[in-house]
Amino acid sequence: MLIIPSIDIYENKVVRLAKGDFNNVSYYSSSPLNQARLYESLGFKLIHIVDLEGSRTGKFTAINSIREIKEKTNLKVEFGGGIRISKDAEELFSAGIDYIVIGSLSIKNKNEFEVIVENNLPENIVAAADVKNEMILISGWTEETQISIYSHIDYCKNLGINKFLVTDVSRDGMLSGTNKVLYKKILKGYLEINLIASGGIKDMKDIKGLKEINPYGVVVGKAIYENKIDLKELAEFALQENNPLS
- State the catalytic residues: 8, 130
Q: How far apart are the first and last CA of the chain?
A: 8
Q: How many CB atoms lie within 10 A of CB 157?
A: 16
| Phi, psi at 219, each rounded to 5° | -90, 130
> Pick from 73, 69, 118: which is nearest to 92 by CA?
69
Nearest by Cα to 81 from 3, 10, 169: 10
The H or E element that residue 18 is part of is strand 13-18
Query: CB of 166 within 8 A of CB of 134?
Result: no
Round to whole Å and give the CA distance between 64 and 12: 9
Helix (H) or strand (E) holding 146: strand 143-148
In angstroms, what is the C-alpha Rg of the chain?
Answer: 16
Q: Which residues have a Cβ under 8 Å from the Cβ of 138 and sit 6 or more positions away?
A: 103, 104, 107, 108, 130, 145
Q: Which of 205, 204, 188, 187 is nearest to 196 (CA)?
A: 187
